[in-house]
Structure 1
Amino acid sequence: MRDRYIAPAVMLIAGVVMSVINLVNHEEMLTSLERLLVVLICFFIIGKIAAAVIRKFTATKAVDKVPENDMSEKNEEDKENTQID
């Protein structure tokens, strides 16, 4: 759920940087808006890809982790089974 804000954050940071660059270079309004639109779309896509990669990485990390409670319960069951035999 936390990864849903990654794409908009990346897009907005890129938009701020592009706006500052346009202001410093004294670009015309139409030119700066066209560039800003292209940058926002590109970085939104990049942010979506980054969020998907992060989501996939964190999902595999969570699956690889085995809670201690599950292991201790299994060990107790194994001990009980060996005592019965």
Structure 2
Amino acid sequence: MPLYDYKCDSCGHTFEVNHRMSETPEISCAQCDSKQVRKILSTGGILGSTKMGQSDAPAPSPCAGGGCASGMCGLS
């Protein structure tokens, strides 16, 4: 079951709720019991990546032949 993030418009509290994608449950704030909550963008399901889906891996070298340190770089 997916985990959804919600934010209360009344008190600003953010919290998570587990429910099926096909469900639209009536959710109230766990802190102030307000029904004025909205679903917010969650990044909890993205593992091993950073902003906008970019990975932490370094960019590939433009030098396919072993890099500029070997003296074989065509860029220098």
The question of a shared fold, defined as TM-score above 0.5 by the shorter chain, is answered with: no
More strand by share: 2
Choose 1 or 2 for highest CA Rg: 1
Say which structure, 1 or 2, has more relative contact order (CA 8 Å, 6+ apart): 1
More helix by share: 1
Q: TM-score, normalised by structure 1?
A: 0.28
